[in-house]
């Protein structure tokens, strides 16, 4: 079996050691890769570009990672470290703790919109220490609510799937806006004429568009997220064992 087959993730491959220190530390590499990803998106990241940004040849990076996929694993786990799971001290506290976790996870994605593309392709990103911590703490949160271990796992996955689903579209729109010179409100306003034309034979859509016309798009996103989050938590709560 090849090394790649035996160690499919940077987290399961033994770290290389030698007496002399490499010219770049793993922490330096991850920090610069994160800066580049946040500024320009995942399409801008390459080993050569990163080496240039660090003032070093790309080969120095390969001391720590075998390829770009391993590099992204490290950076994904770094941003996972920004997400905190509140402790639910009792069954009465689980719902607010879960809501806080969901809001924190969404905020992380909107700060780092490239993560939605990375997570689509990188199953092994969930082997990192921050990812494992999040998973374990989420299990603890839903166990505190009253679920057994397996249903706690289902509840946590359901909650995060909702967050990822709604934050993905938000991140895509905000990333597009960041590359242009329009505000979110200006961009939405520019879409109304074509939307009105397309909906001219659909009275309910015309009425809906009129209701949203002068609303703050940022507030609309917040309200939509909050509404969906509450309904997801309603569904999870309905599954709790009745004592």
Residue matched to tokens 């500024």? 39
> Which one is predicted more confidently, 15 or 235?
235
How many angstroms from the chain centroid is the CA of residue 157? 13
Where does 84-180+213-238 sit in CATH, by number?
1.10.357.10
Report the C-alpha gap between 229 and 5 in whole angstroms: 39
Q: Confidence class of residue 109 from pLDDT cuts 50, 70 and 90?
A: very high
Average pLDDT on 143-155 reads 96
Q: What is the pLDDT of residue 66?
A: 86
Which tens digits make up the pLDDT trace of 4-55? 445 567 777 776 665 455 578 889 999 999 999 999 988 899 998 998 888 8
* Tokens 């790309």, located at residue: 58
With contact defined as beta carbons under 8 Å apart, do 122 and 140 qualify?
A: no
Residue 240 φ/ψ, nearest 5 degrees: -65, 140
pLDDT score of 8: 66
pLDDT for 152: 97
Question: With 50 as the cut, is the pLDDT of residue 84 above it?
Answer: yes
Q: Which residues contact 85 (CB under 8 A, 6 or more apart)?
A: 97, 101, 134, 137, 138, 140, 141
pLDDT at 4: 47
Across the chain, what does the average pLDDT equal? 88
How sure is the predictor about 61, in pLDDT bands with cuts at 50, 70 and 90?
confident
- Reported as a single tens digit per residue, the pLDDT across 182-232 is 888 998 999 999 999 999 999 999 999 999 999 999 999 999 999 999 999
Q: Name the CATH superfamily housing domain 3-79.
A: Homeodomain-like (1.10.10.60)
Query: CA–CA separation, 103 vs 106, rounded Å?
Result: 5
Confidence of residue 123 (pLDDT cuts 50, 70, 90): low
Domain ranges of the chain: 3-79, 84-180+213-238
């Amino acid at each position: 079996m090849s090394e790649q087959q035996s160690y499919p993730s940077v987290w399961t491959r033994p770290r290389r050691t030698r007496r002399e220190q490499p010219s770049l530390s793993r922490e330096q590499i991850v920090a610069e890769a994160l800066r580049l990803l946040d500024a320009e998106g995942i399409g801008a990241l390459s080993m050569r570009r990163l080496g240039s940004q660090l003032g070093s040849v790309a080969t120095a990076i390969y001391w720590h990672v075998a390829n770009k996929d391993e590099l992204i694993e490290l950076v994904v786990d770094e941003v996972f470290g920004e997400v905190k799971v509140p402790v639910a001290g009792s069954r009465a506290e689980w719902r607010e703790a879960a809501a806080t976790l969901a809001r924190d996870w969404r905020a992380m994605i909107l700060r780092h919109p490239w993560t939605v593309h990375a997570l689509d392709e990188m199953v092994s990103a969930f082997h990192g220490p921050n990812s494992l911590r999040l998973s374990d703490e989420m299990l603890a949160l839903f166990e505190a609510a009253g679920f057994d271990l397996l249903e706690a796992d289902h509840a946590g996955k359901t909650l995060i799937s909702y967050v990822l689903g709604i934050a993905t579209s938000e991140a895509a729109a905000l990333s597009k806006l960041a590359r242009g010179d329009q505000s979110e409100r200006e961009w939405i306003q520019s879409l109304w004429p074509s939307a009105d034309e397309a909906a001219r034979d659909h009275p309910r859509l015309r009425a809906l568009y009129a209701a949203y016309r002068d609303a703050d798009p940022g507030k609309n996103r917040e309200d939509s997220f909050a509404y969906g989050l509450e309904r997801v938590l309603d569904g999870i709560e309905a599954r709790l064992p009745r004592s």
